Chain A
Amino acid sequence: MKTPSRRVSETDPLGTRPLTQRERWILGVLSISGVIGVWQLATGLGWINPVLLPSPLDIARAFWTSLVDGTLPQNVIASLLRVVEGFLLAFVVAVPIGVAMGLSRTLGGLFDPLLELLRPIPPIAVIPLAILWFGIGEFSKVWIIAYGAFFPILLNTMAGFREVERAQVRAAQALGANRYHIFRDVVLRSALPFVIVGARLGMSMAFIVLVAAELIASSSGLGFMISDARYKFRTDEMFLGMVCIGALGFGLNVLLRATERCLLRWKSA
């Protein structure tokens, strides 16, 4: 571990010394608590109408009551299940297609134009169609989420399997590798980072689509919680829903990043 020494900053004319881990933590805590503090002050002192902008304490209270009466865990689990199901469905469909399109020029040429046509359609635009096709049941939402996550995973997987370095393949061949060895030790390995990037992008897309789908047609989940709170005029619950979605997305991203670090140790070494 290299930690920049104090002396570096003194001789650094621009003062561009990178922050240490500790300093970054301190600054992060400072900024978040600062914003919450000002927010609490502004709403607590009545500068802002608390119905439009509830105070952090109100939100914390809403968190506690909905936690105790079980509605929050229920909604979190409903959303989490959907997002994971939709994501997994997208992953198991997109990866094989991406591999095939990446490896076979014919398949790539056949499906590339189709992809280019479908890709610009925002997944949110297919929600009405999904409702028409699959109703407003659980599968409808999972399908919409899967649709959203599908393209990032597919495109990145395809790129990964297309961009295998020729010299590495040749190096393996000259060491006696057959086609299976090359696939296992070169193609798969070099495509893996792309697949993981695709999975991360797909997961964030799944989240966006999840909320949109739940806002429009649902009777559970965090998106539903937000839209339901709007009818009840409970802005504190709306904020709580937003915070929970943010926290959930953050948590899943941390999980994926940890997986990435574990699988791609050679990159960060």
Chain B
Amino acid sequence: MDRMSSTGTDFTVSRAKASAIFVGDATVRYGNLEVLTSVSLEVLAGEFVCLLGPSGCGKTTLLNAIAGFIPLADGEITVDGVPVRGPGGDRGMVFQEYALFPWFTVEQNVVYGPKLRGARRAELRQIAEHYLKLVKLDGYAHCYPNQLSGGQRQRVALARALANRPGILLMDEPFGALDAMTRESLQQELLDLWQADRRTCIFVTHSVGEAAFLAEKVVVMKAHPGRIDAVLPNLSPRPRDRTSDAYFSMYRRIDAALRGQRDPVAQTEAA
């Protein structure tokens, strides 16, 4: 954590001090079933956090609660100090099943958010061009989603979320439905994008490797009831290398934490 105490004027460092998302004793119930029990979590601005755990651990529920899709039975969630009351354009969302609007072209999908906010036609065209280029889909503007491959669809979904310029990007197993090679190249592209603008990201995954590769902070969750078990900082250097010792040691630490072993560097939940 000495990164934060440095006195440099570096933008990312000064921004990293602020807390973007604060989850305090959040509890979610479906009827009598407690799917999320008294979860507390702090995500700093510009941080890349992975929520990891077995199915039923409530990682998607936690993400959906932050997005404002499901209400809390207890506790609170604030984003930039403002309590979450419902979904909003400040928290962009990328879903595993893409959730594109198949009746809109790729371009119409990408500019959907800005268009709702009343952006002009010329501006919309610029936005579409910029973000499609960013996700390497220039030339696909007038295609319909069903003409694209899974990887391309998820790129459109990412562009659509980014084009709305959200402060926070929430991703729910976005690469879970893709083949291994597409997944790895999209992980790299996502990291490149994140390193360019240091947007706060919460990324739900059940892949240890994905968390080790992407995250600055890995939140390991447990099921029955859903709760946070350990928070592992991931300080391996960037750009990350899937064949490096740092990657493998992080992989082992996450794997051990998933099995319930105590991590030497983990922040305990009470902290």
State the A residues within 8 Å of B (CB): 165, 167-168, 170-177, 181, 185-186, 189-190, 192, 264-267, 269
Contacts and interface: CB of A to CB of B under 8 A. Distances in A.
6 contacts: A170-B67, A174-B93, A186-B101, A266-B104, A266-B144, A269-B147
B246 to A, nearest CB: 34
Contact of B103 (A167, A170, A189): A189
Contacts of B116: 175-177, 181
A176 B113 contact: yes
B12 to A, nearest CB: 25
Nearest to B170: A174
Contacts of B113: 175-176
Given A181-B116, A269-B146, A174 B161 contact: yes
Listed from nearest, the 4 A-B pairs whose CB atoms lie closest are A176-B89, A167-B99, A174-B93, A173-B87
B104 A171 contact: no
A173 B64 CA distance: 12
A174 B144 contact: no
Contacts of A175: 89, 92, 112-113, 116, 160-161, 164
Contacts, number: 76
Nearest to B112: A175
Contact of A190 (B103, B146, B147): B103
A170 B143 contact: no
A170 B145 CA distance: 18
Nearest to B67: A174
B69 A170 contact: yes
B69 A173 contact: yes
A266 B109 CA distance: 13
Interface string B132-155: 000000000001111100000000
Interface residues of B, number: 34
Interface in B65-94: 67-69, 86-89, 91-93
B248 interface: no
A189 B241 CA distance: 44
Contacts of A171: 93, 95, 99-101, 157, 160
Nearest to A178: B116
A174 B101 contact: no
Given A176-B89, A176-B117, A170 B104 contact: no
A266 B88 contact: no
Contacts of A192: 103
A72 to B, nearest CB: 42
B260 interface: no
A185 B112 CA distance: 10
Contact of B112 (A170, A172, A267): A172
A176 B99 contact: no
A266 B101 CA distance: 10
Nearest to B93: A174
Contact of B87 (A167, A170, A181): A170
Contacts of B99: 165, 167-168, 170-171
B72 to A, nearest CB: 17
A172 B92 CA distance: 10
A185 B147 contact: no
A174 B89 contact: yes
B255 interface: no
A248 B161 CA distance: 49
B3 to A, nearest CB: 31
A266 B161 contact: no
A165 B98 CA distance: 11
- Could you say which of B88, B99, B145 has the most chain A C-beta atoms within 10 Å of its C-beta? B99
A81 B99 CA distance: 43
A172 B147 CA distance: 21
Given A185-B112, A267-B146, A174 B87 contact: yes
A174 B146 contact: no
A265 B147 CA distance: 12
Nearest to A176: B89
Contacts of B143: 269
B97 interface: yes
Contacts of B117: 176
Interface in B145-178: 145-147, 157, 160-161, 164, 166, 170
